[in-house]
Amino acid sequence: MQIQMIKSDIIALAMQHYSNCHLCEHHCGCNRTQGESGFCKASSEARVFRHRVEYGEEMELIPSHLFYLSGCDLRCAFCIAEEKAFNPRIGTVLTTEFLEAAIEQGKSQGAHNIQWVGGEPTIHIPAILEAMSGCCNLPRVVWKSDFYGTPEAFQLLEPIVDVFVADFKFGNNTCARRISKVNSYVETLQRNLKQVFSHSDLIVRHLLLPEHEECCFRPIVDWIAVNLPGVKFSIRNGYLPRWQARHYVELSKPLETRAADSAIAYAEYRGLNLIT
């Protein structure tokens, strides 16, 4: 990974989004350097509200040093980060000095990659790239995203990120709009997944939601089987009713035990490359 060598062009391109932001599909076009804020409410400053070495990721990634950034371009009612995901003013300002010290701490605990998570890291691409560009001996970089970014955003990341982890949450726009308050969700995810799959190492992850097997899980699996042959697919069954989930009848209860078995069976039937 040659981040130092590409600083002058890729980071400069990324910084342009601070004055006219089109990093995500909301296309707010706001000037974040002048205090304007769009859907995500983020400024030109990224903040880390938690970082730690974790073992709950896919086997090929652990142990992974996760950096949680505040602020998000979705409003998922079941978000486990709760208010921290949506308030970009929470946490420690991301700088090269902070990141270098944290990385050394993670390495001492056995982490072999850093993983940018959220909230949503894509809205903070300029700050993340700038912080990483000043670090020496970076480990592998994992980018876990809701994939609601723009093609321009992912083009900035492709030369830098070693593994993309995409949370494909909904199989239709109605569920996405009702639960996460975003439009054109499915088309956006499909476009971005195709783009990244053609160039990069990609894991597609899906969190099973109660009573969303027919409307969300199966359409996602069917699309992947046709359009992303062989992509690594991770089924997550750890759903718990958090944050605002109580306001949605089907999300207000835990996932049924049989849901995971049913999901795995269908994904295997469709020939997906399941990983754990």
Please list the pLDDT of the chain residue by residue as tens digits (276 residues). Answer: 444 444 678 999 999 999 999 999 999 999 999 999 999 999 999 999 999 999 999 999 999 999 999 999 999 999 998 888 899 999 999 999 999 999 999 999 999 999 999 999 999 999 999 999 999 889 999 999 999 999 999 999 999 999 999 999 999 999 999 999 999 999 999 999 999 999 999 999 999 999 999 999 999 999 999 999 999 999 999 999 999 999 999 999 999 999 999 999 999 999 999 999
C-alpha distances (whole Å) from 202 to each of 145, 161, 163, 263, 276 are 11, 10, 6, 20, 14
Distance CA 206, CA 189 (A): 12
For residues 186 and 172, the answer to whether their CB atoms sit within 8 Å is yes
Helix%, strand%, coil% for the chain, nearest 5: 40, 20, 40
Which of 211, 249, 248, 259 has its CA nearest to residue 76? 248
> How does pLDDT run across 196-238, given as a tens digit for each residue?
999 999 999 999 999 999 999 999 999 999 999 999 999 999 9
Q: Cα–Cα–Cα angle for 1, 18, 82, nearest 5°?
A: 85
Domain extent, residue 12, equals 3-275
The CA dihedral of 159, 161, 127, 168, to the nearest 10 degrees, is: 120
Which of 116, 34, 102, 115 has its CA nearest to residue 72? 116
Distance CA 225, CA 219 (A): 10
Which residues, including other chains, have CB under 8 Å from residue 272's CB and lie 6 or more apart? 221, 224, 225, 231, 233
> How does pLDDT run across 84-96, given as a tens digit for each residue?
889 999 999 999 9
In this structure, what CATH number is given to the domain that contains residue 154? 3.20.20.70
Residue positions counted in the chain: 276
Which of 54, 22, 50, 53 has its CA nearest to residue 38? 22
Which residues, including other chains, have CB under 8 Å from residue 6's CB and lie 6 or more apart? 159, 160
For residues 203 and 275, the answer to whether their CB atoms sit within 8 Å is yes
Residue 214: DSSP 8-state: I
Query: How many domains, in total, are found in the chain?
Result: 1
Predicted structure pTM score: 0.96
